[in-house]
Structure 1
Amino acid sequence: MSLRGALVLAILAQPTQAMDLAMPLPAEVTYAEALPLSSHRVAIGPWDQTTPFETIEGSVTRQVWKLTAPEATPLQILAPLRAQLDQAGFDVVFACETRACGGFDFRFDIDVRPAPEMFVDLAAYRYLAARKDTTWTDLVVSTSAGVGYVQQTTVGPVGDVAPVTLSTSNPASPPALIADSDVAQTLQLKGRAVLGDLTFPTGSTDLPEERYPSLTALADFLRDNPQVTVALVGHTDAEGSAEGNMAISRARAESARAVLMQTYGISGARIGTHGVGFFAPMARNDTEVGRQTNRRVEVVITSTP
């Protein structure tokens, strides 16, 4: 089981009020949280200069699934989930597909977990909000390159969700990973880390130095933990087109992978690469400091012993 998977199971072991939806295709949970008192904005109409929201307060649970969906459309994934909500007594308040929702503007108005936990293809997504008495739930469904993503957020009466506690003594937890640097310790604790010294000018994908402290630390971590595999995830600022930034972000991840292979001798089979463009910023894009922060590469653990 992966480190992230163990954390997810620890969260899901807590009592929650969220309805258990059965995914229509093979799926894995990539994110889960349960908050005893919080708020969530539910979209109740399409974007038209702004998106109309209903802000609901109460106990909030959120889960994200990644589905094996080589031929499925967002509607084909959403339809059986909607049927389950109907059967459970939920009434649909609002539902839409990509263009009818408001496209780019609607997607970035709603609360969606960042990649790689959740990915929303701007050309292929669906949204649904439903209500049963005082409980609200909304779904965001998208497909891209044979993979489906589903995010469900449910808000119910206060007290239905117990505080989340992650146990470190769970006997099902994976063996402790060896960690002797900041990058390694962050990976051990969170399952992901920013490789902060890999800096890029706008539009650039080059890593001109032969060695970088963060990659040295990552290489040492991988040698110390030979069963671990990782993914490098490239990011950009918001300058330029979405398509161009997706390509640039993937190339940045590939550049970091090349250094790990060529300089440090790490097997490429242990290093995946992904690019998410400007869709998962860490900072605002209206300042140079913010844009520089967003041009980055992160490492995510994808499997452990």
Structure 2
Amino acid sequence: MRALAVLAITMGAARAEVPDLPLPASPSFAETVPLTSYRFATGPFANGVFPAEVAEGALTRRVWQIAAPGATALQVMAPLRDALLADGWTMTFECRTRACGGFDFRFEIDVIPAPEMFVDLADFRYLAAQKGNERIALLASPSGDLAYVQAAYLDPDGTVEAVTKSASNPPPAPRLSATSDVTRTLTETGHAVLDDLDFPTGSTQLPGTDYASLATLAAFLRDNATATIALVGHTDAEGTAESNMAISRRRADAAKALLTGTHGIAPGRIETHGVGFFAPIARNDTPEGRTANRRVEVVLTSTE
């Protein structure tokens, strides 16, 4: 398996590197902010309290998605931690999953929204480190055949230009009607909601096999033989986080089954992911909002 290129965060002359790993990876998010504040966790979430320190300076945030079938969060994080220690960084806080504070901790820390970053509430690792005035926070979590690594680096003395290569808080994905132009929407925005895939609360099954959005998407994939996509399932906020994560993944799997079975698209061109109720596009306290949130989105992952 080809080696992973060095993952680096650079602020002027300051540099924090994440080492080579025997895994292929691809960047999914990059952002630099000239001057901002950022919270670094200093302890686990407990008794309603999130211990953190706030630092100010030039901030760089990055996310990588790593092909790592079967990897655990520790297997991804350990070499990154070792590299920081070797480079003179001091660990200020480390934790894993429940010891971090589980659900509450994950929603207190900064996390780039899906599909760029994904956090499995049953397996994630967080660490914060400091070298001089520089600070860095890493978050690692696996999902299926992928592992996700998020890094935030802050330098009080650094200077950067404001750049965002993938929106950290993206607008709601354009919704597709049965007659919409999926090809145009994917080309222009890179993602869209497959609006005619309707799931009742708690359901992972599509009641039919004939959906205009999937037929148009299949035509797009046949016309663009090198294109690959990810189907991302979503739920409303009814039920537990754990059950909704599983339901959302199965909803994406249901859409993939129709694309591969009914429309003959090669399974290897389609990834599936589930993010539960963590990326709503509407309020969950109204019937209309919950209906809108029960959806499958398509994300264009590659055209080459």
Question: Aligning the two structures, in what range does the TM-score lie when normalised by the shorter sequence?
Answer: 0.7 to 0.9
Per-residue CA distance 1:173-222 (angstroms, 9 max, x = gap): xxxxxxx9653334224432222332322112343455444334423322
Could you tell me the percent identity over the aligned residues?
56
Q: Distance in 2 between matches of 1:261 and 1:74?
A: 31
Equivalent-residue separation in structure 1 for 2:104 and 2:236 (angstroms): 17
Partner of 2:42: 44
- Answer whether contact 1:183 1:195 (CA < 8 A) is retained: no
Residue aligning to 2:291: 292
Larger fraction in helix: 1
8 Å contact 2:141–2:147 — kept in the other structure?
A: yes
Letter aligned with residue 185 of structure 1:
R
TM-score by length of 1: 0.78
Bigger shift: 102-111 or 25-34? 25-34
| Structure 1 vs Structure 2 CA RMSD | 3.2
Q: Tell me if 1:278 matches 2:261.
A: no
| Cα deviation, residue 54, structure 1 | 2.3
Correspondence list, 1:161-180, <5 A:
161-164=160-163
Instruction: Say whether 1:202 aligns with 2:201.
Output: yes
User: What's 1:124 paired with?
Assistant: 123
Give the equivalent residue in structure 2 for 1:135: 134
SS at match of 2:182: helix
**Number of the residue aligned with 1:5:** none
- Taking the aligned partners of 2:75 and 2:10, their CA distance within structure 1 comes to 29
Take 2:34 and 2:186, find their aligned partners in 1: how far apart are those partners?
27
Matches within 5 A, 1:32-181: 32-48=30-46, 49-70=48-69, 72-145=71-144, 147-157=146-156, 160-164=159-163
Provide structure 2 residue ranges, at least 5 long, that are not aligned to the other structure.
Answer: 1-6, 166-178
Q: Distance in 2 between matches of 1:213 and 1:298?
A: 14
Q: Which has the higher contact order (CA 8 A, sep 6+)?
A: 1
Paired residue for 2:234? 235
Q: CA deviation at 1:297?
A: 0.4
State the 1:152 CA deviation.
Answer: 0.7
- Give the corresponding residue for 2:222: 223
Aligned to 1:244: 243
The C-alpha deviation readout for 1:220-255, integer Å capped at 9, x for no partner, is 322331221212111111212334323322332233
Residue identity opposite 1:302 in structure 2: T
Partner of 2:19: 22
Gaps of 5+ in 1: 1-8, 167-179
Tell me the CA shift for residue 61 of structure 1.
1.2
d(CA) in 2 for partners of 1:149, 1:261:
26
Contact 1:233 1:253 in 2 (8 A): yes
Distance 2:188 2:14 in 1: 27
Determine which structure has the larger strand proportion and give its number: 2
Normalising by structure 2, report the TM-score.
0.78
Structure-2 change in CA distance of 1:71 and 1:277 (3 Å): closer
- C-alpha change, 1:250 and 1:77, in structure 2 (3 Å) is closer
Count residues in correspondence.
282
Contact 1:203 1:248 in 2 (8 A): yes
Amino acid at match of 1:292: T
Distance in 2 (CA, whole Å) between partners of 1:13 and 1:98 is 29
- How many angstroms apart in 1 are the aligned matches of 2:181 and 2:158? 38
Quick one: distance in 2 between partners of 1:160 and 1:97?
32
Q: Distance in 1 between matches of 2:75 and 2:259?
A: 40
**Distance change (3 Å), C-alpha of 1:134 and 1:290:** farther
CA contact (8 A) 1:124 1:144 kept: no
